[in-house]
Amino acid sequence: MIYYLDSLDEDHSGPEATHVPWLIDHFGGMACSQVNIDTCKAYVAARTTGAIGHKPVKQATAKRELETLSAALNRAWKAGKLDRPIAVWKPGTDEQEARWLTRDEAARLLRGALGFTPNGFDADGRVTAYARVAKPNYHVARFILIALYTATRHAAVLGLRWERNAHSGSVDLKEHRIYRRGTEERETRKRRRPCPIPDRLLPHLRRWRRLTVTGPTEYAGETIQRQKTGFDAARRLAKLGGDVTPHTLKHTCITWMLQAGVPTWEVAGFTSTSENLIRRRYGHHCPDHMENARKALSRRRG
């Protein structure tokens, strides 16, 4: 595992680093050949009951940690440090439909970031009036708009700078492009590839460029690593549930594009997401989803 972390990045700042202590707790005393279905199942049981770690975790969390173990073993094998590949068993997890926002919910969330809360609803549940009850968090509103329009991940949005640099993404207002990673950052499984700036976002970015120093989501002139408190405050003011998280904005962007009829391969390229995942998790939002199957069963037979 240490070899794997060293081969990833000098600062070990990715999510894989948080998986390693628990993996070592269970597998640290074993030889690689002892990684099998039984020891992997025992790991899942230990993590989900709290026998390993500070508290019990969900099965999906244990699965992600085993994926890190698998990646580490695969890298060691490819580097010639193992004489054969080692298979890592992982539990199956039911892939639930991703939570996404309707246009009305997105508007409520954005207004929540600006200090407004719904103050009236019509018979269909649509907001008819708002009341301002808090000070605006402009950096949260900017984060929401960028994530909604580009499906860029939470940390990558917060890391955006106005100038191209080595260690974080940037906004190029001349070329109308967002670079999701720095010039010296390596590509990872997160696929932080560039995307064009949508026309509806561009005027906002130009205005924010005049109002900020380092990047669009800075706070008090400084870039921030997380804005969970501000986002949660906006969500509560918008009267949205706890299932709405910063990652929901990525799901929303993908869903809206598919509902608008954008081909899956184009959505995948724009959002820097694999097309296989787009089809598997969001494909039912496509207007023609299962249309060929419906037509086939509707044909008359001779």
In a domain, 213, yes or no: yes
With residue 239 as reference, give the H or E element that holds it: none
Query: What's the CATH number where 189 sits?
Result: 1.10.443.10
Whose CA is closest to 288, among 256, 251, 263? 263
Residues 281 and 155 in one domain: yes
- How confident is the model over 187-191, as a mean pLDDT? 65
Q: What is the pLDDT of residue 93?
A: 53
**Is 61 buried (19+), middle (13-18) or exposed (0-12) by CB count in 10 A?**
middle
Residues 121, 6 share a domain: no
Is 302 inside any structural domain? no
Beta bridge partners of 127: 121
- What's residue 6's pLDDT? 53
Residues 267 and 205 in one domain: yes
Residue 27 and residue 118 in one domain: no
- pLDDT per residue over 193-210, tens digit each? 899 999 999 999 999 999
Q: Do 70 and 150 belong to one domain?
A: no
- Asked if 144 contacts 197 with a C-beta cutoff of 8 angstroms, the reply is no
Domain count, the chain: 2
Q: Which domain holds residue 24?
A: 2-78
What pLDDT is attached to residue 11?
Answer: 42
One DSSP character per residue, 52-114 reads SSSS---HHHHHHHHHHHHHHHHHHHHTTSSSS-----------PPPP---HHHHHHHHHHHT
**What is residue 297's predicted lDDT score, i.e. its pLDDT?**
57
**72 exposed, middle or buried (CB, 10 Å; 0-12, 13-18, 19+)?**
buried
**Alpha-helical segments (H) within the chain:** 2-8, 15-27, 37-49, 59-78, 103-113, 138-150, 154-158, 202-211, 228-237, 248-259, 264-271, 275-277, 291-298
3 state SS for 242-265: CCCCCCHHHHHHHHHHHHCCCCHH
Tens-place pLDDT, residues 79-121: 888 888 999 999 875 555 688 999 999 999 999 999 999 988 8
Are residues 73 and 107 located together in one domain of the fold?
Answer: no
Query: Are residues 112 and 72 part of one domain?
Result: no
pLDDT tens column, 244-292: 999 999 999 999 999 998 999 999 999 988 888 888 888 777 776 656 5
Burial of 234 (0-12, 13-18, 19+ CB in 10 A): buried
Contact 144, 109 (CB under 8 A): yes
Q: Hey, what amino acid is at 120? A: G
Q: pLDDT at position 146, please? A: 97
Same domain, 61 and 137: no
| Same domain, residue pair 135 and 267 | yes
Domain annotation covers residue 122: yes
Contact by Cβ (8 Å): 63, 91: yes
Instruction: Please give the pLDDT value at position 232.
Output: 95
Which residue has better confidence, 50 or 281? 50
Q: What is the pLDDT of residues 123-176, one digit of tens each?
A: 877 888 999 999 999 999 999 999 999 999 998 999 999 999 998 999 999 999
User: Are 144 and 14 contained in the same domain?
Assistant: no
Say yes or no to pLDDT of 37 above 50: yes
